Structure 1
Amino acid sequence: MSFQLVSTIFIAVALAMDAFSVSITKGFTQKDLIKSQIFYYGLFFGFFQFLMPLLGYLCGSTVASLVSAVAPWIGFILLLAIGLNMIRESFGDEEEVTDKFSFKEVTLLAIATSIDAFAVGLTYAFLGSEILIPSLIIGVVAFLFGICGVFIGRKIGNYFGNKFQIVGGIILIIIGVKILLGF
């Protein structure tokens, strides 16, 4: 397995941690979810995690040639900021959640948990890397984590919630350092 594929999988897992944490919380607070609603959590999280890197890449590729000399620093700073923000958020209060399933809420949660993926797409553009396969991997991992999170939340509740964001933040920072050092 190539280092780029392994890095992409680690990025996908790190980005999916927010969705996973939210899904665990939803599984804990929405005991009456039916299978199709659980599927929607995975689908929405996966779709937005797939879409946002593409959008970030499209925005970033228009200026990539202008910043190619500082691309490693840009990648490092973006991933460091995202990682530190994820770690910081893990120590905050749990989000207020409702007891009933809502498409509006699922959409907002999916968008909110995929903002970091936009910045990752920018990073891929600045580095001149391919984006479609990484976006697909990111989306599939978020889809699976979203579904698994709801099921786990239904079983064990909200005990671990924000701790998964810490792991995701650390992984992003490590990958940022790797980009900066050129490994």
Structure 2
Amino acid sequence: MSEGENSGDKTLTVAPSKTLHLKQRPVEHGMVRQSFSHGRSKVVVVEKVKRRAPGQAEPAKPAGATAPIAESPAPPPKAAPKSATQRPAPAPRSGSGVVLRALTDEEREARARALVDAKSREEEDRRRAEIDAKARNEREEREQAERAAADARKREEEERLAREAESKRKSEEEARRRLPADAAGVGA
């Protein structure tokens, strides 16, 4: 289609707008070559956002600028006395941020049953594997014995055929020696 063909058509266009941004964070810019499977490549701009380490607060703003001025400073709160009902402070968490909860009795029982089942399955699989290995060894030994017996029968048959051929050859030789003697005696 050329411009002349659709000069009367109205086309929709969108005016370029600004890119949307969230709060500004420390960002590193970099250029990366992106290559596609069909051979084309393209250089793109990437931004690497620096993440804050867990537990770190944002930098404190000056207290005088945003905090209301109090006439007398409030006394710091007193620490509550520890009682037997309070839980001990949790161990410092790792950077993964995963919080594990305690298992209920039902969950513990289900887990124990699953472990027992898994162990019994492993034991059963091991026994099956041993039985299969024994059966395989026995089958291989039987096949080897059968092959040896077949080889022995083949050798015996070859030896028998060789003996028969030898005896046939000797008898033919004997017959040839007698034949000329018989032929000479008949003709005399």
Larger Rg, first or second structure (1 or 2): 2
Q: Does TM, normalized by the shorter one, top 0.5?
A: no
Q: What interval of TM-score do these two structures reach, taking the shorter chain for normalisation?
A: under 0.3
Of structures 1 and 2, the one with the larger relative CO (CA 8 A, separation 6+) is 1
Bigger fraction of residues in helix: 1
Bigger fraction of residues in strand: 2
Per the normalisation by structure 1, the TM-score is: 0.18
